[in-house]
């Protein structure tokens, strides 16, 4: 059997940077765009890691792409069924609990390839309150009241930055700037993160994708040119 510790190590190895920031007027969620194979080969340069799965919920994932996609599809379908059955929209907490339950059940199924997906869940309740939860690859659930990077490989590079620059009660505009800065900082050092930033906001006005930045590689010949100019 695969231990929870092994799964978390695999998730960290798989590569991604996720950021979630709680502001006084909502929640900011962001992620990079690089997708790798085993952390060695760049497979995709425009991977969507922050996804709006319905009218009131945004999820972002780190780990195996197939597990993340499956988790998002099942969660969206189950939440719709629950809404039809209960005749009301599920809360963000209920949504996070559902995703945590799916992860919990998957990781405990004997398999040649273990389930590997850490998830951040942000959403809007019917009363207009935005909430953010972090769901571990083992199904554990933590409500976030400041900031989080889940189990992404970029986590060690962004937590220190967030510790220094996050301010309780910061507004959504400052949260967007901080989220972008966190992803950029991680991309400088984490080989499995980069190629751009996607940012979503969750406020009483709804869910909006407010930023979609693409990174371009620029090469400049510096030393040879400077030496030639001096001759």
Catalytically annotated residues: 16
Alpha-carbon distance of 185 to 68, in angstroms, equals 24
Alpha-carbon distance of 47 to 156, in angstroms, equals 21
Torsion of CA 139, 140, 145, 146, to 10 degrees: -80
Q: Using CB atoms within 10 Å of the CB of residue 203, give its burial: 0 to 12 exposed, 13 to 18 middle, 19+ buried.
A: middle
Q: Is 38 left (phi over 0), alpha (psi -120 to 50) or beta?
A: left
Alpha-carbon distance of 193 to 149, in angstroms, equals 13
């Amino acid at each position: 059997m695969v231990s929870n510790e092994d799964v978390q190590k695999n998730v960290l190895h798989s590569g991604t940077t996720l950021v979630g920031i709680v502001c006084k007027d909502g929640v900011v969620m962001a992620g990079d765009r690089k997708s790798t194979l085993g952390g060695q080969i760049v497979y995709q340069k425009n991977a969507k890691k922050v996804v709006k799965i319905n009218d009131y919920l945004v999820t972002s994932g780190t780990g195996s792409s197939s597990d993340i996609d499956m988790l998002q599809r099942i969660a969206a379908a189950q939440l719709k069924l629950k809404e039809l059955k209960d005749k009301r929209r599920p809360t963000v907490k209920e949504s996070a609990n559902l995703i945590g339950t799916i992860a919990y059940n998957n990781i405990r199924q004997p398999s040649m390839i273990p389930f590997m997906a850490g998830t951040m869940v942000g959403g809007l309740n019917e009363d207009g309150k935005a909430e953010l939860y972090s769901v571990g690859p083992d199904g554990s659930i933590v409500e976030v009241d400041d900031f989080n990077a889940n189990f992404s490989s970029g986590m060690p590079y962004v937590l220190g930055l967030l510790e220094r620059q996050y301010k309780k009660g910061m507004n959504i505009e400052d949260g967007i700037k901080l989220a972008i800065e966190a992803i950029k900082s991680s991309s400088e050092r984490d080989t499995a993160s980069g190629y751009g930033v996607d940012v979503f906001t969750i406020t009483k006005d709804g869910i909006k994708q407010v930023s979609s930045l693409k990174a371009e590689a620029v090469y400049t010949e510096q030393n040879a040119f400077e030496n030639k100019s001096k001759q």
